[in-house]
Structure 1
């Protein structure tokens, strides 16, 4: 049996919102997970444009929101991903405030996608396992990351958007050489490839809301 094929259509648009993890601090453009995701989707016969990435290292939830204002983004994206919050946690901001700010971003993502089912939220990875965190309270970092992720997951599922948990995979980095870039903090392209394996099914499901591929 041949692989299911999508009808010949113009490539759809993909918007990736986030921070250093989405812009791929320390990796080449091809190593960024949104770029790897597009390559994976194309391998599966789904026509997707190169991703529009609105993300910068260090951004918090409110900084991402301000950047979205500056970018004057308009609706019409077939897929929108959102990964944000690690810098809120890193700067010691309370989790209670994160809920309101995250929910505001989630609502904006839904508006841009035009359909909540086309929004994929990715969990915050645990930087506490990295060599950058040496000398810090790794247990406290993990607990705070879990709290932030629980909030994001709760609001994502409540809204009926799609949730992908990459945090356990990020925690494997401590025992796997090559999973971090030279700064000892940010994921390598190899780690992002593992994320894409988890994200791709949700992205494909989101894009199938546009229609069903032809089976053969």
Structure 2
């Protein structure tokens, strides 16, 4: 009987040790990141790993423990307006358990000469959708300002573009500030595009991999805080 009892204790001890973390060991994390936007999010004219959501994901991954994971879901397409993005999110219906959501949208509203009132209506709706997808937590959301394509060979320094982009960004920033949603300005980076051509992709219109890396330098500190890193 003593031998049997001893064996039972040993088996139970081994079994429990497999399911119990060591005192200093933290459970693995499985972070989920959703990037919403247009060509600036999908990374038009740069490689898939060059776009800013991928660079941000990789930067976050470097700061995780070896057993942690981070996945990225991108809902974005070149040419999308706020209306297009709303429809795409509704069609794809992503889950509501994301740890981080970024939103960068509006340049095609400006480029396609949509009424500014459309942006005033749909941008807040998209922020609300982003919050919903971020577990209902506004602190998990980052809104990124619209780049200024006037400072590219395509835009050719057109000041009207810059003025209109400023109007869009001012509305977005004011809305985010009023509603305690994080807003990151990267527009000034893109306004170096004519003076520093390496910030523009080979198509002469979109940001380059280097420009996106500079976006990430601005976004990463906020992302780290939101993810507790």
Considering the TM-score relative to the shorter chain, is it more than 0.5?
yes
SS where residue 153 of structure 1 aligns? helix
* Mapped partners of 1:93, 1:48: distance in 2: 40
SS where residue 199 of structure 2 aligns? coil
SS where residue 181 of structure 1 aligns? coil
> Among residues 148, 152, 162, which one is paired with 1:126 in the alignment?
148
Q: Trace 1:63-212 onto structure 2 (pairs within 5 A).
A: 63-113=84-134, 114-134=136-156, 138-208=158-228
Structure 2 unaligned residues grouped into runs of 5+: 1-24
Quote the RMSD (CA, aligned, Å).
1.5
Please list the CA deviations of residues 112-147 of structure 1 after superposition, one character each: whole Å capped at 9, or x if unmatched. Answer: 11200000000000001110113xx71111010000
Aligned twin of 1:22: 41
**TM-score if structure 1 supplies the norm length?**
0.89
Structure 1 residue 43 and structure 2 residue 62: aligned? Answer: yes
1:14, 1:48 within 8 Å by CA — same for their partners in 2?
no
What is the Cα deviation at residue 48 of structure 1?
Answer: 4.8
Please list the CA deviations of residues 126-183 of structure 1 after superposition, one character each: whole Å capped at 9, or x if unmatched. Answer: 001110113xx71111010000001111111222111100000110121113211111
Higher RCO (CA-CA < 8 Å; seq separation 6+): 1
> Displaced runs of 4+ in structure 1, greater than 4 A?
none
Structure 1 unaligned residues grouped into runs of 5+: 1-5
Please list the CA deviations of residues 83-125 of structure 1 after superposition, one character each: whole Å capped at 9, or x if unmatched. Answer: 0000000011232321111000000001111200000000000
SS where residue 30 of structure 2 aligns? coil
* Mapped partners of 2:147, 2:26: distance in 1: 36
What is the Cα deviation at residue 65 of structure 1?
Answer: 0.3
**TM-score if structure 2 supplies the norm length?**
0.84
Q: Trace 1:51-70 onto structure 2 (pairs within 5 A).
A: 51-70=72-91
* Mapped partners of 1:11, 1:27: distance in 2: 28
- Quick check: which has more Rg, 1 or 2? 2
Number of aligned positions between the proteins = 202
* Mapped partners of 2:71, 2:46: distance in 1: 17
Aligned twin of 1:3: none
What is the Cα deviation at residue 20 of structure 1?
Answer: 0.2
What is the Cα deviation at residue 41 of structure 1?
Answer: 1.1
What is the Cα deviation at residue 31 of structure 1?
Answer: 0.2
